[in-house]
Structure 1
Amino acid sequence: MDKILEVRDLAVSFETYGGKVQAVRGVSFDLYKGETLAIVGESGSGKSVTSQSIVQLIPMPPGKFESGSIIFNGEDLIQKSEMEMEKIRGKDIGVIFQDPMTSLNPTMKVGRQISEGLIKHQKLNKKRAYEKSIELLRLVGIPNPEKRINQYPHQFSGGMRQRVMIAIALACNPKVLIADEPTTALDVTIQAQILDLMKDLQEDMGMSIILITHDLGVVARTSQRVVVMYGGIVVETGTVDEIFYQSKHPYTWGLLSSMPKIDADNDEELLAIPGSPPDLLDPPKGCPFAARCSHAMNICADEMPKYTTLSDTQKTACWLLTKEAQSIKQSETVMAGGSISE
């Protein structure tokens, strides 16, 4: 498969009154043509900052690119000016934002909001852009698009607003679609419809999707590969099957254990990961998950482990997988009764 996007050692920080927040700390991943890549993790893990960095939607200041590169079509997007990025956003890379009600302009009819990108990037006149907007609303499953195109966002339901956002993002046939929590606050029936719609459109248009989510059920339904983030770094990557059935990082185990299971007993409690995410004003120098990990060793808090390559598609940053851990096991006690044999 051909790579369409390469993110390498991306580091993004924010200057605040309390100090520098190191939101993203050396993130790397690839996106291939025609695939769906899911980025998962708790709130505050750096998922949205990573995705927004790709299209330079990080406000600067207070945001700052500390290091790294984002290669798209052979060019580093970080080095692009705002004027150059305006030619890429919407045209080559589309974005579905997390909350359609706040992302859509409440003072503009949805038809005008869809038409803007068509007029700017595809140089259509207003009449043709209007006709194309109706086609897009019909494509994303909005009934009676000839009438709906002249309505305002508040006249649409949550699911319909999300469909409008998808129409805007797909208006110029982008090569990459970034979907940031596209099913947040939608009921499960509408969620399924939105996910099926995105999958069908991906197959028809051949685009690649970066799906930002904390819902592992959505990941299992839509994605081919998964990036697991925690504390601003990537702790594990792999195919969906590898992450769900052969994961090796304790944080990934915690995420999977917190999922409800259809065959669980009625009195079986959901497991929760104890503790809180690290303070990225002063991130830990070792593994960011060490303070919450029942398998942590002394070295976990002192030094960040390197990635262990488990297959052509899976790698994990955990001391439990290193040769050094075997000797450490002989001399140190695993905290909280954990065992590295797991």
Structure 2
Amino acid sequence: MDKLLKVNNLNVRFNIFNATVQAVRGVSFELDKGETLAIVGESGSGKSVTSKALMGLIPNPPGEIASGEILFENKDLVKYDEKQLQKIRGKEISMIFQDPMTALNPTMKIGKQIMEGLIKHQNLSKSDAKQRAIELLKLVGIPKPEKRVEEYPHQFSGGMRQRVVIAIALACNPKLLIADEPTTALDVTIQAQILDLMRDLQKKTGTAIILITHDLGVVANLAQRVAVMYGGKIVETGTVDEIFYNAKHPYTWGLLASMPKLHMKADKLTAIPGSPPDLADPPKGCPFAPRCPYAMKVCTDHMPEYAELSGTQKAACWLLDERAPKVAPPVTIGARGEE
């Protein structure tokens, strides 16, 4: 398939007080047209910073893209200035932000917020833009769109606001949609509806999706491929089945083990002990080594290279070196979150 996006050795840092936080460290991945890639990991692993870098939304100061390439249709967005990025945002690349209430302007009618991008990027008249806004509200499943287009965000429920945010993101038929924790603030019933909506819209529009989440259940329902981030780095990538069935990195094992299962008692939930590394003083070896029950001396002294496990799966772990002791994963979980 054609590559829509190639990220090569991306490094993002924040200069805060007397420290430099290396939030994203050497991240590389690719995305095909029409594909869904999930980027998963704990809070602070660099997922959202990576997504904002793709949109050119790293605040400078204090942040900056220190090095690397973001090749969108073979155009390096790192080299774009703000005026050039404004032509890309909303039109070519759109983003669904985590909290729909803060993503929407409370003083503007919903219709006008959808119309803004249509008028700017597609040069529609106000009347045509309003008609398109009504069509988009209908597309994302909002009843009586002709009436609701004249209402304000506070008149919508949380799930309906998230549908509006999705309508805004899809207004200009973007080639890439970045969804940053799109269901975190919603209850499980609305979560399922939003995921079904995103899946259906992708089939209709062919939009590629980067899904930022810590919820592996969401990943199993929506993504084709997964990138596992920890300590500002991607530690493992693979198809959904490879990650759920045959993960190779101990951090991925920890994430899978922490997934609640239907038969599990409330006091049996597994957690990964310890805390993520301080990225103002990142470790020189594997970032997961201090929390890894299988860590060896080489893990703390040297960063592991990626081991190519298949045409689609690779992981950065010293346990994959032929000289390392053989360690079996502590848990096996089915490809769709079932044991």
TM-score by length of 1: 0.94
Change (3 A) 1:6 1:267: closer
Q: Which residues of 2 match residues 242-257 of structure 1 at below 5 A?
A: 242-257=242-257
1:107-145 CA distances to partner (integer Å, 9 max, x unpaired)? 111111100000000000111001100110011011111
Residue of structure 1 in register with 2:204 after alignment? 204
The answer (yes or no) to whether the contact 2:285–2:304 under 8 Å persists in 1 is: yes
Residue of structure 2 in register with 1:270 after alignment? 269
Residue of structure 1 in register with 2:308 after alignment? 309
Question: Residue 341 of structure 1: CA displacement?
Answer: 4.9
Residue of structure 2 in register with 1:132 after alignment? 132
Could you say what secondary structure the match of 2:39 adopts?
Answer: strand
Is 1:285 the counterpart of 2:300 in the alignment?
no
1:203-239 CA distances to partner (integer Å, 9 max, x unpaired)? 0011100000000000000010000000000000000
Could you say what secondary structure the match of 1:323 adopts?
Answer: coil
Residue of structure 2 in register with 1:58 after alignment? 58
- Equivalents in 1 of 2:173, 2:229: separation in Å? 29
Question: Residue 340 of structure 1: CA displacement?
Answer: 3.1
Question: Residue 241 of structure 1: CA displacement?
Answer: 0.4
Comparing 287-296 and 145-154, the one that deviates more: 145-154
Change (3 A) 1:114 1:267: closer
Q: Which residues of 2 match residues 63-102 of structure 1 at below 5 A?
A: 63-102=63-102
Could you say what secondary structure the match of 1:242 adopts?
Answer: helix
The answer (yes or no) to whether the contact 2:118–2:172 under 8 Å persists in 1 is: yes
Residue of structure 2 in register with 1:19 after alignment? 19
Change (3 A) 1:202 1:341: closer
Matched AA of 1:192: A
Matched AA of 2:290: A
- Equivalents in 1 of 2:18, 2:242: separation in Å? 39
The answer (yes or no) to whether the contact 2:98–2:185 under 8 Å persists in 1 is: no
- Stretches of structure 1 lacking an aligned partner (at least 5 in a row): 327-338
Residue of structure 2 in register with 1:176 after alignment? 176
Residue of structure 1 in register with 2:237 after alignment? 237
Question: Residue 44 of structure 1: CA displacement?
Answer: 0.3
- Equivalents in 1 of 2:327, 2:74: separation in Å? 42
Residue of structure 1 in register with 2:35 after alignment? 35
The answer (yes or no) to whether the contact 2:3–2:73 under 8 Å persists in 1 is: no
Question: Residue 268 of structure 1: CA displacement?
Answer: 6.3
Residue of structure 2 in register with 1:297 after alignment? 296
Comparing 267-276 and 244-253, the one that deviates more: 267-276
Question: Residue 106 of structure 1: CA displacement?
Answer: 1.1
- 1:340 corresponds, among 322, 327, 336, to 327
Change (3 A) 1:208 1:72: same
Could you say what secondary structure the match of 2:241 adopts?
Answer: helix
- Equivalents in 2 of 1:155, 1:292: separation in Å? 46
Matched AA of 2:141: G
1:175-203 CA distances to partner (integer Å, 9 max, x unpaired)? 01000000011011100100000000000
- Equivalents in 2 of 1:18, 1:257: separation in Å? 38
Question: Residue 74 of structure 1: CA displacement?
Answer: 1.3
Could you say what secondary structure the match of 2:178 adopts?
Answer: strand
Q: CA RMSD in A?
A: 1.1
- Equivalents in 1 of 2:124, 2:204: separation in Å? 22
Comparing 215-224 and 103-112, the one that deviates more: 103-112
Matched AA of 1:223: A
Change (3 A) 1:322 1:201: same
Question: Residue 34 of structure 1: CA displacement?
Answer: 1.0
Residue of structure 2 in register with 1:149 after alignment? 149
Change (3 A) 1:26 1:148: same
Change (3 A) 1:117 1:237: same
- Equivalents in 1 of 2:313, 2:328: separation in Å? 19
1:156-191 CA distances to partner (integer Å, 9 max, x unpaired)? 111011000000000000001000000011011100
Question: Residue 267 of structure 1: CA displacement?
Answer: 6.7
- Equivalents in 1 of 2:154, 2:42: separation in Å? 30
The answer (yes or no) to whether the contact 2:305–2:317 under 8 Å persists in 1 is: yes
- Equivalents in 2 of 1:126, 1:182: separation in Å? 29
- Equivalents in 2 of 1:299, 1:100: separation in Å? 45
Matched AA of 2:144: N
- Equivalents in 1 of 2:209, 2:64: separation in Å? 25
Matched AA of 1:24: V
The answer (yes or no) to whether the contact 2:13–2:20 under 8 Å persists in 1 is: yes
- Equivalents in 1 of 2:22, 2:203: separation in Å? 37
**Identical positions, percent:** 69
Matched AA of 1:225: R
Residue of structure 2 in register with 1:120 after alignment? 120
- Stretches of structure 2 lacking an aligned partner (at least 5 in a row): 330-339
Could you say what secondary structure the match of 2:268 adopts?
Answer: coil
